[in-house]
Amino acid sequence: MTHELPYWFEAASLVALIALLAADLVIVGRRPHVPSMKESGVWVAFYVGLALVFGLVVLGVGGAAPAGEFYAGWLTEYSLSVDNLFVFVIIMSKFAVPRQHQQMVLMVGIIIALVLRAAFILAGAAILEQFVWMFYLFGAFLVYTAIKLVAGEDDEAEFKENVAIRLLRRVLPLSPDYDGAKVRTVVDGTRLFTPMLVVFVAIGSTDLLFALDSIPAIFGLTTDPFIVFTANLFALMGLRQLYFLLGGLLERLVYLPIALAVILGFIGVKLILEALHSNTLPFINSGHHVAWAPEVPIWLSLAVILGSIALATVASLLKTRRSAAVAAAEREAQEPSQQA
């Protein structure tokens, strides 16, 4: 599943993408505001288009296999990121972040998450290269996560302050109020940290926890660290604008957890089959590969991912529209009785 891309291409791509992130951060910092639906839609379309173009460039440079792996990885990470937006909404509400500064919070949190994920990806790639049997553990974890999603036991449905946030509250002098997007302020001559620092850590650390699902999932599609990182980067880059674009629509995606369960379960089985195909554990088939274990082609992975997302979206919109129509009919039926 690993395909070597030219080093010059990987280096040039990373430099260009990091420069784009830096420019995005500068733009947000200079003009904090609440983006309109039109502005958010334009930016989401830009980043989605950029990801599609990047996949075509990978196709031209490395061929169909790495391009297919990038698209599958990006779609998986993007769909998981949409689910993560539920928690971001809760964090913004819990810490009462001024709406005009929420873009900056998301941007800094995304950058923190990317730095931490890069370390996670490099470590994961090194481990999988040396210990192929780890695919069994990754696969079992994803299947377990999928079962939890179907059972409605998704821990991401609520936000709880983690150890890092509680430690910050104890050791740092914090002011009770925000001072714009600043992380430090002066109150009565004393320099204090603002709640914005806690929010940055909350967003960044929470997104890192999401990586416990998303990183093993994408390693089930490719073990190339460059493709894994760029797929994560493109999924996270559009997350800030997607947060404002979807807004209340998030609650309408009622079947998204089911789609994510199907995707994670499918990739989990794919990882286990991959582990069987290259098995080295002595207590499984005497340490030899299992001949009947098939290799799942990347086109099938793409079809499952796209099909699951499309079906969940259409079914969710139909259900919420039907529920809204029923609620409206009930209100109309109650009005005559109230007037009487």
Q: pTM of the prediction?
A: 0.73
Most confident of 47-51, 111-115, 144-148: 47-51
pLDDT band at 154 (very low <50, low <70, confident <90, very high): low
Q: What is the pLDDT of residue 249?
A: 64
More confident: 290 or 260 = 260
Q: What is the pLDDT of residue 276?
A: 80
Q: pLDDT at residue 336 above 70?
A: no
Write the single-letter amino acid at 41.
Answer: G
Q: What is the pLDDT of residue 250?
A: 62
Can you tell me the distance from the alpha carbon of 337 to that of 340, in angstroms, rounded to the nearest whole number?
5
More confident: 18 or 334 = 18
More confident: 17 or 245 = 17
Can you tell me the distance from the alpha carbon of 273 to that of 292, in angstroms, rounded to the nearest whole number?
9
- Mean pLDDT, all residues of the chain: 79
Q: What is the pLDDT of residue 161?
A: 65
Can you tell me the distance from the alpha carbon of 305 to that of 307, in angstroms, rounded to the nearest whole number?
6
Helix axes 37-62, 64-94, angle to 10 degrees: 150
Q: pLDDT at residue 122 above 90?
A: no
Delimit the domains of the chain by residue range. Answer: 7-339
More confident: 288 or 12 = 12
Q: What is the pLDDT of residue 21?
A: 80
User: Which residues does 76 contact at the CB level (< 8 Å), separation at least 6?
Assistant: 214, 217, 218, 221, 231, 263, 267, 305
**134: which 2 tokens?**
């780890």
- Angle, CA of 184, 186 and 189, to the nearest 5°: 150
**185: which 2 tokens?**
């302020």
Q: pLDDT at residue 296 above 80?
A: no
Q: What is the pLDDT of residue 157?
A: 46
Q: What is the pLDDT of residue 13?
A: 93
* Tens digits of residue pLDDT in 4-25: 788 899 999 999 988 888 887 7
More confident: 74 or 211 = 74
**CA proximity to 110, closest of 181, 16, 24, 5:** 24
Give me the mean pLDDT over the 120-132 stretch: 77
Give me the mean pLDDT over the 275-282 stretch: 73
Give me the mean pLDDT over the 212-235 stretch: 84
User: What is the three-state SS of 219-288?
Assistant: HCCCCCHHHHHHHHHHHHHCHHHHHHHHHHHHHHCCCHHHHHHHHHHHHHHHHHHHHHHCCCCCCCHHHC
Q: pLDDT at residue 308 above 70?
A: yes
% of the chain with per-residue pLDDT over 90? 9
Note the residue count of the chain: 340
> Contact 127/134 with Cβ under 8 angstroms?
yes
Q: What is the pLDDT of residue 59?
A: 93
Helix axes 225-237, 37-62, angle to 10 degrees: 160
User: Which residues does 200 contact at the CB level (< 8 Å), separation at least 6?
Assistant: 105, 108, 109, 112, 183
pLDDT band at 339 (very low <50, low <70, confident <90, very high): low
Can you tell me the distance from the alpha carbon of 93 to that of 89, in angstroms, rounded to the nearest whole number?
6
- Angle, CA of 47, 50 and 56, to the nearest 5°: 150
pLDDT band at 70 (very low <50, low <70, confident <90, very high): very high
Q: What is the pLDDT of residue 156?
A: 46
**332: which 2 tokens?**
């109309």
Helix or strand (DSSP H, E) at 193 = strand 190-193
Helix or strand (DSSP H, E) at 186 = strand 184-187
More confident: 155 or 224 = 224
